[in-house]
Amino acid sequence: MQLERSENMIRLLIDSMCDLPKEYVNHPNLDMVSLNVIAEGKVYRDKREIDLDGINKLIEQGIVPTTSQVNPGDFMDYFEKCAQNDITCIYLAFTSKLSGSYETARLILKEVTEKYPEFRCEVVDSLQSGGGIALIAVELLKLIDQGRDLDYLVQAAVKIIPHTHFYFSIEDLNWLYMGGRVSKGAAVVGGFLKIHPIVSVEEGELKIIGKSRGNKKAQNTIIEKVTANITGNLDQNVGIAYNGSMKAVEEYEHALRLMGVAKMEPVPIGCVLAAHLGLQATGIYFLDMRPEDILKLI
């Protein structure tokens, strides 16, 4: 892992659960560590050794992938190189309620700071997944570009997190069954009735907050949730997460325009999320307040 010294000397570390918009994927102050996707005994580094098309092909073959957290050695390598190059960093982690990456990073950071007492780094639990993490990461990258210090970045992340929303629907209940979130009976009956669970990321956990029969009703339910919460921030770039048909993305774009949202960006979900949600999943993520208004509270 090569780290280049940046002018402001603060870097943001994300993991591969963060589904960033294209504009920010190659940001000069951004680094990424990968979670792992395991299929038929082979381990792939998410977004490095396997992409969404690759994992979908495995699923289509009837292979059920599993996932695991970021390798401890990747954190050790990254933190040590930052310490050796006098680089301050902040790691915005995939929610600790669904992954051990956050706690692993904290343990490794403690070990590294004992060896390099001057090293400054903070680990922040995003309490989010996918595009929800990206919303927070984008604001942190903007603040890094403005020259904000590490303490301010941590405070900003903590303030933004509660204003982050991610609602999505899943077509195949079997994937929730295999993840232990619904019973086999519920998956069979739900599949027969074409019931689509509506899922939200709340306080770091995936929670089923509703069920609708068919794609259209599921999308309408999500739009209702967005309408109820987005009114304070209509000029943001709203994210549309997807895996599968682009028809749902187009329908969401149309509904968002009617709502008064001018900017939106479809972003494919990451491999780890696809492993848990299956081939057909779409949703919307957004902030319920303008970031500048949120940060006034610091």
If asked whether residues 138 and 172 sit together in one domain, one would say: no
Q: From CA 202, how far away is CA 65, in angstroms rounded?
A: 25
| Same domain assignment for residues 135 and 174 | no
Phi, psi at residue 23, to the nearest 5°? -60, -25
- Given a cut of 60, whether residue 75 has pLDDT beyond it is yes
In a domain, 261, yes or no: yes
What is the bridge-based pairing of β-strands 88-93 and 10-15? parallel
pLDDT band at 218 (very low <50, low <70, confident <90, very high): confident
The answer on 146 and 103 residing in a single domain is yes
Residues 116, 214 share a domain = no
**How far, in Å, are 31, 76, 168, 173, 201 from residue 209 at the CA level?**
34, 38, 10, 14, 10
- CA angle 185–191–194, rounded 5-degree value: 135
Domain co-membership, 152 together with 194: no
**261, 227 Cβ separation under 8 angstroms:** no
Do 95 and 206 reside in the same domain of the chain?
A: no
Residue pair 165/203 in contact by the 8 Å Cβ criterion? no
4 belongs to a structural domain: no
Phi, psi of 84, deg, nearest 5? -70, -25
**194 has pLDDT over 70:** no
Question: Do the domain assignments include residue 1?
Answer: no
The CATH number that applies at residue 250 is 3.30.1180.10
Instruction: Looking at the structure, tell me whether residues 154 and 183 fall in a common domain.
Output: no
Give me the number of domains the chain comprises: 2
For 85-122, write each residue's pLDDT tens digit: 999 999 999 999 999 999 999 999 999 999 999 999 99
- Convert the pLDDT of each residue in 155-178 to its tens digit: 999 999 999 999 988 776 565 555
Q: What is the CATH number of the domain that holds 24?
A: 3.40.50.10170
The mean predicted confidence, pLDDT, of the chain is 88
The answer on 130 and 64 residing in a single domain is yes
Alpha-carbon span 173 to 220, nearest angstrom: 19
Using alpha carbons, select from 13, 16, 12 the residue that is nearest to residue 268: 16
Pairing outcome for strands 205-213 and 281-287: unpaired
Domain extent, residue 224, equals 163-295
Same domain, 62 and 111: yes
> Which residue from 151, 161, 147 is spatially nearest to 29, judged by alpha carbons?
147
